[in-house]
Amino acid sequence: MLRSRFIPMILSLLLGGLMPLSFAPFNLAMIAPFALVGLLFLVQERSAKFSALLGVLFGFGMFSWGIWWIRISLIEFGGAPVIVGVLITFLLAFYLSFYYGILLFVLAKIRGSVAFKIGIIFPLLAVILEWIRAELFTGFPWLALGYTLTDLPISQLLFPEMGALMASFWVYWLAGVLFVAARIFLRIDIDSKAKEAKGIRCVVRQLMPACCSMLLMGGALFVSSLWISQKVEKLEESLNIALLQGNIAQELKFNEAQYYEIIATYLRLTDVVAARADLIIWPETAIPSLYEMEGNLGEHLRALSKNQQTQVMTGIFSGNGATVRNSIITYSDEMRMYDQRYDKTHLVPFGEYIPFRSFLSLFSGMIEIPYSDLTAGKVEQSPFEIQKKNGAALFAAASICYEAVFGNELRYQAQTANFLVNVSNDAWFGDSIGPWQHFQIARARAIEAQREMVRATNNGITALIGKDGQVKALLPQFKEAVLEVNVTSYAGMTTYAKLGDLFWGLLAVIGLVMGLFWQRRQM
């Protein structure tokens, strides 16, 4: 008895551990659906409680390795004891794993044929849970399975219409089809009626539910591409942009004694490209102080903008002692009142704010990350207006670091923007897989909006991303350098920019309810 339970538990944990291989930097996309197939075989004819346990173990194996790099910021730069940093990382992984537990628990509880549950309930409920995970408790949609499609041609169809998050449906759907196909091959009966069917009729009967869910989401995809999406057109105007990678060691970044040396690094790199660039972008919090306290630095950057007919955009903190925000400032070539500002809307848990502070007060007292109690900005903010040297204006949708994960929020600016800007500082996570996962997510945002994205970071990954998500130019990590690129501008809204996640999430809910209602009528 114990052995019959122990082996599936270990296998579930191991299968979950394979899942991060589907994401960057490994990009072995097909591992995800095949690992899910293995999980579905493990939960066959299991009780709902044991299925839920296997789901939690699968999720824990996936997230405990997939987000293991979070501990680096807590331990190495936050001063947390090793045990605390590891415990917080595992607690987050444990929370995320419950979504797989819920998925398999509900799947086991629902009455009906395996073909029905796997073909309809499994992919629809799975993507609904991905959607909930992206929203609940401010959301954490990291390692949503849709991102595994980023390097595949299918992403060019799916992401602009339904977004990377909701495209997770198709990964779960494929896993379900593979599972049913494997059962057919292994001659495992799905329902009593299947025993009476032979040959093609048997195959069709067993795959029919999967075809129904495919027609629901695929039909909506077809209609949206014809009647909702606008044609995205290339504009004649382009921008010469310089992306500065200062490579400032994270342990020195907030050391007051290093402030002037940090600023000198960015000013030196700026002087090299100012005469050629329409826009010069410094990374997230490149200026490790408050915008309101900048003094002569702001005046210097405004004068530089005026003399060189360029603009400097930089990450900086803004506010006062009570309310501080992580911001981007684009300096005008005139007075301070004409500077443009964007405030980060989605803050990093445990880095920029402590979630459930009253419950985690013990942990928060052990973590000393500078500026770790920030205030979020508004979701809907105006894009930056960027002037070319010849006077023409283009518009940039901005995001800061972790915000790139939330395509549903970035789309508000992207609707009227001509290109995307992301500034980040992934030095918090060292030489781990975290920055590469983050970069893959940024590439998905470019595909969703059908806009090129420039990404300026402290120590990598600084790059120009094409509207197809392909990397057009890239700086090596952990080196001080400047990347000079010419950015093409575009206009027109994709379906996803218009509708976001809500439309597809509600469609999945409707499909799930209709499927359950139909199944009940058949019983």
CA distance 120 to 107: 10
The pLDDT tens digits for 206-224 are: 889 999 999 999 999 999 9
| Amino acid 466: pLDDT | 98
Q: Are residues 65 and 43 in the same domain?
A: yes
Confidence category of residue 1, pLDDT binned at 50, 70, 90: low
Does 471 score more than 70 pLDDT? Answer: yes
| Amino acid 215: pLDDT | 95
Q: Are residues 244 and 336 in the same domain?
A: yes
Average pLDDT over residues 120-148: 96
Determine which one of 202, 401, 403, 448 is catalytic. Answer: 401
Amino acid identity at 165: L
Q: Are 134 and 147 in contact (CB under 8 A)?
A: no
Domain boundary among the residues 109, 131, 152 is at: 109
Q: Are residues 352 and 427 in the same domain?
A: yes
- Residue 212 annotated to the active site: no
CA distance 243 to 514: 50
Confidence category of residue 120, pLDDT binned at 50, 70, 90: very high
In the predicted model, what is the mean pLDDT of the chain? Answer: 91
Q: Are residues 97 and 179 in the same domain?
A: no
Q: Are residues 247 and 185 in the same domain?
A: no
The pLDDT tens digits for 244-276 are: 999 999 989 989 999 999 999 999 999 999 999
CA distance 188 to 384: 59
Q: Are residues 318 and 393 in the same domain?
A: yes
Q: Which helix (H) or strand (E) holds 474?
A: strand 471-474
Lowest mean pLDDT among 4-8, 195-199, 332-336: 195-199
Determine which one of 117, 253, 344, 467 is catalytic. Answer: 344
Confidence category of residue 353, pLDDT binned at 50, 70, 90: confident
Confidence category of residue 521, pLDDT binned at 50, 70, 90: confident
CA distance 87 to 67: 13
Residue 372 CA neighbour count, 13 Å, CB half: 20
Q: Are residues 31 and 159 in the same domain?
A: no
Strands 481-491 and 471-474: unpaired
Lowest mean pLDDT among 19-23, 162-166, 286-290, 389-393: 389-393
Cα-to-chain-centroid distance, residue 172? 18
Does 191 score more than 70 pLDDT? Answer: no
Determine which one of 130, 161, 284, 352 is catalytic. Answer: 284
Domain that residue 211 falls in: 112-229+500-523
Q: Give the Å distances, CA to CA, from 482 to 266, 313, 498.
A: 10, 14, 35
Angle at 74 between CA 93 and CA 143, to 5 degrees: 35
CATH code of the domain in which 335 resides: 3.60.110.10
3-state secondary structure of 9: helix
Q: Are 507 and 498 in contact (CB under 8 A)?
A: no
Q: What is the sign of the dihedral through the CA atoms of 83, 85, 88 and 91?
A: negative
| Amino acid 112: pLDDT | 85
Does 446 score more than 80 pLDDT? Answer: yes
3-state secondary structure of 259: helix
Q: Are residues 291 and 374 in the same domain?
A: yes
Among residues 54, 45, 44, 38, the alpha carbon closest in space to that of 6 is found at 54
Confidence category of residue 80, pLDDT binned at 50, 70, 90: confident
As for how many domains the chain has, the answer is 3
Strands 419-424 and 453-457: parallel
Amino acid identity at 92: L
Confidence category of residue 283, pLDDT binned at 50, 70, 90: very high
Residue 327 CA neighbour count, 13 Å, CB half: 25
Does 192 score more than 70 pLDDT? Answer: no
Q: Are residues 105 and 209 in the same domain?
A: no
| Amino acid 190: pLDDT | 52
Q: Are residues 151 and 90 in the same domain?
A: no
E strands, 388-465, are: 393-400, 419-424, 453-457, 463-465
The pLDDT tens digits for 305-314 are: 999 999 999 9
CA distance 327 to 332: 16
Cβ of 385: how many Cβ atoms within 10 Å? Answer: 12
Q: Which helix (H) or strand (E) holds 472?
A: strand 471-474
CA distance 374 to 316: 13
CA distance 523 to 519: 7
Does 330 score more than 80 pLDDT? Answer: yes
Q: Which residue has better confidence, 80 or 21?
A: 21
| Amino acid 318: pLDDT | 94
Domain boundary among the residues 109, 133, 155 is at: 109
- Residue 352 annotated to the active site: no
Confidence category of residue 232, pLDDT binned at 50, 70, 90: very high
Does 6 score more than 80 pLDDT? Answer: yes
Q: Are 69 and 434 in contact (CB under 8 A)?
A: yes
Q: Are residues 337 and 468 in the same domain?
A: yes
Domain boundary among the residues 74, 109, 144 is at: 109
| Amino acid 89: pLDDT | 94
Q: Are 455 and 472 in contact (CB under 8 A)?
A: no
pTM of the model: 0.94
Q: Are residues 87 and 171 in the same domain?
A: no
Does 198 score more than 60 pLDDT? Answer: no
Q: Which residue has better confidence, 292 or 101?
A: 101
Confidence category of residue 441, pLDDT binned at 50, 70, 90: very high
Confidence category of residue 226, pLDDT binned at 50, 70, 90: confident
Contacts 24+ apart (CB under 8 A), 328-332: 328/384, 328/398, 328/400, 328/421, 328/423, 329/291, 330/384, 330/386, 331/298, 331/301, 331/302, 331/305, 332/302, 332/305
Confidence category of residue 367, pLDDT binned at 50, 70, 90: low
Average pLDDT over residues 484-490: 97
| Amino acid 258: pLDDT | 94
